[in-house]
Structure 1
Amino acid sequence: MKKKSMNLITAVAVLVVLSGVYVGVKTYVAKQEEKENAEEEEEKTQVFSISSEDVHSIKFVIDKKEVTFEKNNDEWVKSDERDFPVDQDKLIEAIGSLNNVEADRVLDNVTDTTEYGLDDPTNTITITDKDGKETVLHVGMENASTSQYYVENGEDESKIYVVADSVFQPFMKTLYDYAKAGTFPVIDSSTVSNVTVDENDDSYTLTKDNNTGLWNIKDQDGAEKADSAKVSSLTSSIASIAYGSFVNYNCKDLSEYGLDKPYGTITINYQEEVEEKSDPTEDGDASEENSTDEQDTTEDKKDISTMDSTEDKDDASAVDSTEEDTSATDSTEEDTSVTDSSDTQTRMVNREMTILVGDQSDDDGRYVMVNNSKEIYTISNDTLSVFLGKTKEDFWDMTVSYLSVNNLESLQAEYQGETHVIDVSRETSEDNSGDDSSTTSTTTLSYQLDGTEMDDSTPFTTFYNKLINMTGQKRLTEKYENNNKSDFDVELEDVDGEKTKIDYYQYDTNFYAAVVGQKVYLVNKMTVKELIDSYKTLVGQTDSESSDENSDLVSEENATDEDSNSADNTDNTNGVDVD
């Protein structure tokens, strides 16, 4: 037992000694590595150094041509093109990489520089200091595996220096990498009032109605209402347009970029807020008095008008039984100055931007020129695709027929040989009991079915909401002919006496064809069935057709759940071509 204890003690002692040896060896190795690294740092050879402030000019090869930049009143200019928009920061950054050029290795007594690429240098950089002294650095082949360049200083051609490639990468760019590029004009999309796109032989125009805020789409064949969501997506994208590459700051030959005969032209009309300084008057007191008088006069001249509310077709309140109009002062005046301070005012001015779109560029975009600026940039194809490659069909409003109940005079519908008429009556009352002097007008709507007053308007509002919110999944562009009788017909008459007729024909197993004048919409069959069901509830009508037809309608509920794209692939049961 005593012997085992001694062996254990001995083993522990040996372990302690070995641990100490390990720590000592580790410390020694670390110190040796530190020493070797310090020696390597000391062994680095300086190839060239200069303070950025002492550089007067620098010449190097760009796009296989020698280009010289020189200082002019503390600004860098391109020697042969003083109008060239030099990016001061980028050039100063490139010059800064030459402040202290050090070599990782030095190859002495080199007689043949061919194998290092110095017989035909990748670049030659000539630095001239403020005293006129020139230094020439020849940059040869790049060793891609070590990320180093072979460099020769013209002052001693017997040595070749191996230098980190990060020193010379700033000099391996294109000319316009050293140019100060402009930015695409900033446009507030909410002020856009018109967008016109001409592309080859096709063109379309989106125009905003300033009174209603709604958009119309038109081409050479006419105009019609546009889908507000699609137009909003287009106008919103205008604010995010950005240039890709800067190509030419003063283009003299548009044909070089395909801009003499543009691939497309985009014209945008919008408004911009500008600041203007008002003219100060000599007499301060008189100025203050005149200013007050002018303000009072302006207040007197303001028009008091009824503010029109924007009708939202997706809001169920479109068919509320009451309509409330409140008189209010319209404080928004086009192009009216708004005083920001005693000597500065702002106003909205009309602007127009024209974007010429040319040939395809190398960066997956196209060359563009904005407002005949002579500056050529690129814009990505993704950005331009919002405008180009479109037709008016892409912006069509797919609402079959919308008429606010506030403007409805009467409605006539026919289903299964029975015709019913709903008339709308209005009663207006005024209330001026408020604290202010304004008068509130309230219009109450009531409905008569076939001449009998409806006690409960809910069935009508349910039906009417479905009717005016009916949307097509596709619109036919070819002439539609159908010799069959329509399943359901509705005729709307507005308060001005204008009538609109909607006829629903069975198109195929998935769709109804909703015909409104010359327009034909393909509408989900199940949606039309829901419309008809709500109409039957309204008028208390029951189906008189066979149970077989009723069962067919029920079976169609499953068929109409298919993807809307099936409208493009459906059998042409009516002899109609679908684009």
Structure 2
Amino acid sequence: MKKLLKIVLLIVLLGVLIGAYFYLSKNPSDKTDKDKSAESETIEILKLDESKMTKIILNNEKGSFSFIKKDNNWVYEEKQDLKLDQNMLNRLVQNFTSLTAEKSVEKEAKDLDKYGLKNSKNTVTSFLKDGSSYTLELGDKTPEGTSYYLKLKNKNDIYTVSESVGDSIKYSINDLRSKELPAIDTSNIKYIKIVNLKGETIEIKANEAQNDNEKQYGINAFVMTKPYNNIHAVNSDKLNELNDSITKLSISDFISDSSKELSKYGLDKPRLEILAKDGKNELHLYFGKDVDNDNVAFKIAGAPEIYAMSKDSMEALNLNPFDLIDKFVYLTNIDLVNQINIENGSQKDIITLSRTVKKAEKEGEKDETLTTYKINGKEVSEEPFKNFYQKLIGLQVEAVNDKNLSEKPEVRIVYNLNSTNKKTTIVSFVEYNNDFYAVFVDGKSEFLISKIQVQNMLDEFNKLKK
């Protein structure tokens, strides 16, 4: 009996719920609609035609800043050649031609002082072509600190606006100046010069030639012409890192628009310099003293202004030339080599590479170049020879030579080439200490290589001779 009673009660309850559902679906609550309407209502403070704006003036504790429209750009009326951040100016104008409130606080307020609006020091005035103007007055921040109080001049209706809108009324001229430096295309760099903090001049140029085989200093896209006596290929990964550092250079602050203060900021005798060219444009900067713990003074060559930049950005340009170059002792394509002479003490060996052309047998096929490899007149197989050649051209320098040594080699390698640029290259390994050789390339020594590297190469060669 009890079980039957429970079933009946559940059926009744289900019926009530179904009835309530159908009633509510056909008779939605008026109060809910009103609440939704109130929540979605836009509170418009000011609506102007942006295309008719001719001028906007910011007045705040930092000064009075007037901007006028000229050739579809905004310019600083007091100094019209000053480069401004047009995106920031456009956002500023948009803020005050179509301004909505976060909420309405009080209508016809009697006590303006509690909102910081009795004698506002922060205002923005928009001027239109018809001569009319509209001024907005900014008050204190709300207790939450995420909004500002604001009202229209001559009206006492109080609103709150976002923190970003309020902060924009407090902009100084420097806040609205462009922080971009002269633009260059780092994907098309042709030339870079850096004078680092040690006073070393690093000069990098494009390794231009008709094809890779004609490039005199290896197949790398760039070579370093200074500070070393010989020209060296630049490591592509290191160059990409340098280019990335160049693209990130920007102004962090504005110090002075006058060149009269160069000595004050160490720019009369710059401690670091960079010049980068892309074939059409150039970026040429000088760096001086620290402005504070985070920034350093710098200027653009040929311009009077003094700026600040993050010290991290400058330090990224303070490069050691040795870190930029490829470390190969001498890297050349095997197809350019006709003969290699290896002198190790009293032992002298001659390697020859003789080439013949096998004509294509079928139309559309290419002729084939066949190479014969010989050591002291004895032919060796191609695969073991190429393994040795990789060991030979794989020799890498490991440090800078700080001694002035005479070229009296323990090991000497002479490359005879078929290149149109250069016919002979001589590489010598001269005693530096117990562990290192000084490397001479065509009579000039700049770097060191471990003796064990050279010995491993010679061991590979001796295996090949057997």
Residue 271 (str. 1) matches residue 293 (str. 2): no
Judge conservation of contact 1:191–1:270 (CA < 8 Å) in 2.
Answer: yes
Change (3 A) 1:479 1:201: closer
Q: Give the Cα separation in 1 of the matches to 2:330 and 2:86.
A: 60
TM-score (norm 1): 0.59
Would the aligned equivalents of 1:257 and 1:358 in 2 still touch at CA under 8 Å?
Answer: yes
Within the candidate set 361, 371, 388, 1:463 is matched to 388
2:212 match = none
Hey, what's the Cα distance between the residues in 2 that align with 1:91 and 1:80? 16
- How far the C-alpha of 1:82 sits from its partner, in A, is 3.2
Alpha-carbon separation, structure 2, partners of 1:10 and 1:223: 102
Are 2:295 and 2:311, in contact at CA under 8 Å, matched by a contact in 1?
yes
Q: CA deviation at 1:165?
A: 4.2
8 A contact 2:242–2:317 mirrored in 1: no
Residues 363 and 380 in structure 1, CA contact (< 8 A), matched pair in contact too: no
8 Å contact 1:105–1:163 — kept in the other structure? no
Supply the distance in 1 between the matched residues of 2:86 and 2:370 (Cα, whole angstroms): 68
Per-residue CA shift, 1:75-131, capped at 9, x if unaligned?
Answer: 644332333445555434323333354552216553460x42235636122334444
Matching residue within 150, 173, 181 for 1:175: 173
Partner SS for 1:15: helix
> In the TM superposition, what is the alpha-carbon distance from 1:258 to its structure 2 partner?
5.0
- Indicate yes or no: 2:323 matched with 1:394: yes
Match of 1:60 in 2: 58
2:273 aligned with 1:357? no
Task: Verify: 1:423 aligned to 2:350, yes or no.
Answer: yes
For residue 419 of structure 2, what is the aligned residue in structure 1? none
Equivalent residues in 2 for 1:541-560 (5 A)? none
**1:148 matched to 2:154:** no
Partners of 1:117 and 1:395 in 2: how far apart? 58
Q: 1:82 aligns with which of 80, 83, 92?
A: 80
Residue deviations 1:247-301, cap 9 Å, x none?
56993336376544333211335534xxxxxxxxxxxxxxxxxxxxxxxxxxxxx
Give TM-score scaled by structure 2 length.
0.71
| Residue 201 to residue 10, structure 1, CA distance change in 2 (3 Å) | closer
Equivalent of residue 411 in structure 1, options 342, 362, 373 = 342
Which residue identity does 1:470 align to in structure 2? L
The DSSP-based 3-state class of the residue aligned with 1:490 is strand
Q: Following superposition of structure 1 onto structure 2, how do residues 66-465 of structure 1 map, counting pairs within 5 Å?
A: 66-71=64-69, 76-86=74-84, 90-98=88-96, 99-102=98-101, 103-106=103-106, 108-111=108-111, 113=113, 115-119=114-118, 121=120, 123-143=122-142, 145=144, 147-157=146-156, 160-165=158-163, 167-179=165-177, 184-187=182-185, 189=187, 192=190, 194-200=191-197, 202-208=199-205, 210=208, 212=215, 214=217, 215-219=223-227, 222-229=228-235, 233=239, 237=243, 241-245=247-251, 251-253=257-259, 255=262, 258-268=266-276, 271-272=279-280, 353-359=283-289, 366=296, 368-374=298-304, 381=311, 383-388=313-318, 390-400=319-329, 406-414=337-345, 419-425=346-352, 446-449=373-376, 453-454=378-379, 456=381, 461-465=386-390
CA distance 1:34–1:377, shift in 2 (3 Å): farther
Q: Does 1:11 align with 2:10?
A: yes
Q: 1:404/1:47 Cα in 2 relative to 1: closer, same or farther (>3 Å)?
A: closer
Amino acid at match of 1:422: D
Deviation at 1:237, TM superposition (A): 0.9
Distance 1:166 1:464 in 2: 65
CA distance in 1: counterparts of 2:4 and 2:299, whole angstroms: 94
Q: Which amino acid aligns with 2:327?
A: M
8 Å Cα contact 1:57/1:68 also seen in 2: yes
Specify the alignment match of 2:420 in structure 1: none
- Does the residue aligned with 1:151 lie in a helix, a strand or coil? strand
Provide structure 1 residue ranges, at least 5 long, that are not aligned to the other structure: 273-350, 482-487, 541-579
**Counterparts in 2 of 1:492-507, with a 5 A limit?**
492-495=413-416, 499-502=426-429
Contact 1:489 1:503 in 2 (8 A): yes
Q: 1:68 to 1:446 in 2, by over 3 A?
A: closer
| 1:463 aligned counterpart, secondary structure | helix
Aligned-partner residue type, residue 411 of structure 1 = I
Cα gap change, 1:59 to 1:493, in 2 (>3 Å): closer
User: How far does residue 241 in structure 1 lie from its aligned partner after superposition?
Assistant: 1.5
Displacement of 1:379 after TM fit? 5.7
Change (3 A) 1:108 1:536: same
CA contact (8 A) 2:410 2:431 kept: yes
Counterpart amino acid of residue 110 in structure 2? V
The whole-number CA distance in structure 1 between the counterparts of 2:459 and 2:241 is 39
Give the distance between the partners of 1:391 and 1:155, measured in 2 at CA: 64
Aligned pair in 2 of structure 1 residues 125, 535: CA closer, same or farther (>3 Å)? Answer: closer
Change (3 A) 1:38 1:430: closer
User: Per the alignment, do residues 66 and 266 of structure 1 end up closer, same or farther by CA in structure 2, a change over 3 Å counting?
Assistant: same
Judged with a 3 Å threshold, the aligned counterparts in structure 2 of structure 1 residues 21 and 360 are, in CA distance, closer, same or farther, namely farther
CA deviation after TM superposition for structure 1 residue 137, in Å: 2.6
Larger radius of gyration: 1
Partner of 1:544: none
Contact 1:62 1:175 in 2 (8 A): no
Q: Distance in 2 between matches of 1:14 and 1:533?
A: 97
Residues 409 and 149 of structure 1: CA distance in aligned 2, closer, same or farther (over 3 Å): closer
Alignment check: 8 A CA contact 1:267 1:352 kept: yes
SS of residue in 2 equivalent to 1:137: strand
Superposition map of 1:503-542 within 5 A: 512-517=435-440, 518=445, 521-523=448-450, 525=452, 530-540=456-466
Superposed CA deviations along residues 497-545 of structure 1, whole A, max 9, x for unmatched, are 87543368995xxxx52343555635495x56643542342344xxxxx
Structure 1 residues 489 and 457, CA gap change in structure 2 (3 angstroms):
farther
Flag the 1:187–1:410 CA change in 2: closer, same or farther, 3 A: same
Gap change, CA 1:24 and 1:457, over 3 Å in 2: closer
Tell me the SS of whatever aligns to 1:16: helix
Q: Distance in 2 between matches of 1:367 and 1:82?
A: 24
Tell me the distance in 2 between the aligned counterparts of 1:163 and 1:200. 49
Work out the CA distance in 2 between the residues paired with 1:218 and 1:92. Answer: 46
Give the residue type in structure 2 aligned to 1:33. T
Q: Could you say what the CA RMSD is over the residues aligned between the two structures, in angstroms?
A: 4.8
Query: Which SS does the other structure have where 1:466 is aligned?
Result: helix
How many residues align? The count is 433
Work out whether 1:475 is the aligned partner of 2:399: yes
Asked if the contact 1:368/1:379 (under 8 Å) is kept, the reply is: yes
CA displacement at 1:35 relative to structure 2: 1.5
Structure 2, unmatched stretches of 5+, are: 210-214, 218-222, 417-422
Question: Aligned partners of 1:45 and 1:426: how far apart in 2?
Answer: 86
Aligned-pair CA distance for 1:139: 0.8
Contact conserved, 1:411 with 1:493, CA < 8 A, in 2?
yes
SS in 2 for 1:139: strand
Structure 2 CA distance for aligned equivalents of residues 78 and 364 of structure 1: 29
